[in-house]
Amino acid sequence: MRITAVKSFPVKVGFRNQFLVKVETDEGISGIGEGGISGRELAMAGMVEHLSRWLIGEDPRRIEHHWQTCYRTGYFEGGNILSAALSAIDIALWDILGQSLGVPVYQLLGGENRQVCPCFATPGCLNAPDVVERATIFVDAGWNVLRFTTGMADPDFERRGQRGVYEPLESIELASHWLREVRNAVADTIELAVDFHHRLSVAEAALFCHKISDLNLYFLEEPIRSESPKAYHQLRTMTPIPFAIGEEFASPFAFVPFVEEGLTNFARVDVSNVGGLTAAKKVAAMCEAHYIDMMPHNPLGPVTTAASIHFGIATANFAYLEYQHRLAESYPADLFPTMPILEGAAFPIPTEPGLGVTFNEEAAKNHAFEHWDAPRWQRRDGSYTNW
């Protein structure tokens, strides 16, 4: 079997784009993958075109070899765009291998460790009373782990996008208040978590942790930026709350200090950014040796979801997969005729060979790429702040 083509498809899905890669072979088997750097689809497409020169004519089943070649050739290893493009290619190669052997991908990763892939839900933003109502709706529907986002009191804040004003201290006050209201509204058996999307400083994050220290938070996700492990060292000394870190990491190597130095309690590996399933399983092995569970980042498309499900089914040290209802409801059926279907608060074990996702290349023209950028928020004094 030989690779005959590596195609990129930046497509508009919902309010932003998804970046898909299709790898074709001379035996009629094709695989589908996804790269996860949202807003940089054309950059990923350029990298895929570059990497494809080394892949066409090669055996798609030499997955580890292709990973090493793509990641290391060129002297300058890694980088977010390279790893995202490589992730898409890698996922597609696992899809091909599973189809060629007639087995689901999780069988190739070690077989089933669990009967379902459990998920956590994101009911909404801790900025207004309706988040309490949404939380109770999710609990009544059977969800037992709820992760909340943070923002401002303005109901149009999220929709204003590029012009959003974000003040960390105000957001901390809102988040701590409404998290307490949610805790009062749901049973103690419901686990609560908060994602600050790396918007805080060390001091601000410590302040938030102090304000909600009695609420038994399951995890605090990405409270500060992750370039500096020493900053997380400092924050770690200021709170016992578990951290969930890693969605921004573009290789297994980026996880090393956070794992070896005990800076994270849940690894937020993203199979569409870290280097695909090949890289994700290496992160899982590293984390298992340090008693750290995997909690994949997954606010993307059905291909990343499917790859993450296979990863979750096969990985012993797996906790929960992120699932976002508002995004999943925007997946177009013409583009993805077959995709994972949630059952309650979990995904069942996949049964189809490969990933179990089908992609209609012809339908891509109905979802033409449109430039989209992540919101550029600022503080009231006009200075830039993180989204």
Q: Using CA atoms, how far apart are residues 164 and 151, in angstroms rounded to an integer?
A: 10
Within-domain flag for 304: yes
Structure-model confidence comparison of residues 75 and 176, the more confident one: 176
3-state helix, strand, coil in the chain (%, to 5): 40, 20, 40
Within-domain flag for 219: yes
Collapsing DSSP to helix, strand or coil, 40 comes out as: coil
Taking residues 36-45, what's their average pLDDT? 96
Q: What pTM does this model have? A: 0.96
Last residue of a domain, one of 102, 137, 158: 102
- pLDDT value for 162: 54
For residues 91 and 97, the answer to whether their CB atoms sit within 8 Å is: no
- Domain limits at 344? 107-354
pLDDT band at 21 (very low <50, low <70, confident <90, very high): very high
Q: Where are the alpha helices (DSSP H) in 289-324?
A: 302-314
- pLDDT value for 71: 95
Q: Are 45 and 81 in the same domain? A: yes
**Cβ of 214: how many Cβ atoms within 10 Å?**
8
Does residue 277 carry a pLDDT above 60? yes
Q: Are 98 and 111 in the same domain? A: no
Does residue 218 carry a pLDDT above 70? yes
Within-domain flag for 97: yes
Does residue 255 carry a pLDDT above 80? yes
Which among 64, 107, 147 is positioned nearest to 309, based on CA atoms? 107
Return the active site residues. Answer: 197, 297
Within-domain flag for 265: yes
Does residue 326 carry a pLDDT above 90? no
Taking residues 245-261, what's their average pLDDT? 97
**Cβ of 193: how many Cβ atoms within 10 Å?**
22
> Which residues, including other chains, have CB under 8 Å from residue 294's CB and lie 6 or more apart?
266, 267, 269, 280, 283, 284, 287, 311, 312, 315, 317, 318, 319
CATH of the domain at 39: 3.30.390.10
pLDDT band at 164 (very low <50, low <70, confident <90, very high): confident
Taking residues 348-361, what's their average pLDDT? 97
Task: Tell me the C-alpha to C-alpha distance, in Å, between residue 161 and each of 24, 309, 373.
Answer: 38, 31, 9
Task: Tell me the C-alpha to C-alpha distance, in Å, between residue 346 and each of 113, 183, 284, 379.
Answer: 15, 23, 20, 39
Does residue 269 carry a pLDDT above 90? yes
- pLDDT value for 301: 96
CATH of the domain at 264: 3.20.20.120
Taking residues 75-85, what's their average pLDDT? 92
Structure-model confidence comparison of residues 157 and 312, the more confident one: 312
Within-domain flag for 303: yes
pLDDT exceeding 90 applies to what percent of the chain? 92
Taking residues 244-272, what's their average pLDDT? 97
Least confident of 100-114, 142-156, 206-220, 270-284: 142-156
Q: Are 70 and 188 in the same domain? A: no
Burial class (CB in 10 A: 0-12, 13-18, 19+), 363: middle
Task: Tell me the C-alpha to C-alpha distance, in Å, between residue 308 and each of 107, 111, 121, 131, 287.
Answer: 14, 14, 15, 27, 16
Total domains in the chain come to 2
- pLDDT value for 163: 65
Q: Are 55 and 168 in the same domain? A: no
Collapsing DSSP to helix, strand or coil, 12 comes out as: strand
Within-domain flag for 74: yes
Residue-wise pLDDT for 128-157, tens only, equals 999 999 999 999 999 999 999 999 987 555
Residue-wise pLDDT for 102-112, tens only, equals 999 999 999 99
For residues 33 and 77, the answer to whether their CB atoms sit within 8 Å is: no
Q: Are 112 and 91 in the same domain? A: no
Does residue 159 carry a pLDDT above 80? no
Taking residues 351-365, what's their average pLDDT? 97
Structure-model confidence comparison of residues 327 and 212, the more confident one: 212
Q: Are 40 and 174 in the same domain? A: no
Taking residues 304-310, what's their average pLDDT? 98
Q: Are 62 and 194 in the same domain? A: no
Does residue 340 carry a pLDDT above 60? yes
> Which residues, including other chains, have CB under 8 Å from residue 110's CB and lie 6 or more apart?
314, 315
- pLDDT value for 74: 80
> Which residues, including other chains, have CB under 8 Å from residue 218's CB and lie 6 or more apart?
145, 191, 192, 193, 242
Sort strands 116-120 and 321-322 into parallel, antiparallel or unpaired.
Answer: parallel
Within-domain flag for 273: yes
Q: Using CA atoms, how far apart are residues 152 and 378, in angstroms rounded to an integer?
A: 12
Q: Are 31 and 154 in the same domain? A: no
